[in-house]
Amino acid sequence: MLKKLTPNLIVDDVNKTIEFYQSTLGCFELVLTDPKKGQFDWALMRCEDVELMFQSKKSLKDKIPAFPETESGGSVIIYIEVDSIEPLYNWIKDRVKVVSELSDTQYRMREFLIEDCNGFIIAFAEWA
């Protein structure tokens, strides 16, 4: 039986990614890392019920030699449902690269999209 989904996203620099998610997005906290300090190969971050893992391309290739050479970012959109989207949008819009302004969709969501420091697109959405 499925219980939970936590994406493990491939990034070039885990430490830089942690800094972006803590400082720029504000609510993400660092839960676990490997190794415990220094230049991280992997990290688990959490913001309320949302968890994301980040793993360096190099460490993933070291652990899984058959893993293909893959670019960071781009092929995944992280879709996060929120409460009170307008205050979030107003707080974050000048801190990040906004790729789609706050708008209403035909599928009854009010959403905006940003790009993180790795090129991943993050959609923040609220039921309209």
Q: What is the average pLDDT value for the chain, to the nearest integer?
A: 93
The structural domains of the chain, ordered by start, are 1-66 (3.30.720.120), 73-128 (3.30.720.110)
Pick the closest to residue 67 from 6, 10, 7 (CA basis): 10
State the pLDDT at residue 75.
78
Phi, psi of 9 (to 5 degrees): -95, 135
Query: Pairing mode, if any, of strands 121-127 and 77-81?
Result: parallel
Residue type, 115: E
State the pLDDT at residue 82.
96
pLDDT per position as a tens digit, 79-108 = 999 999 999 999 999 999 999 999 999 999
State the pLDDT at residue 61.
82
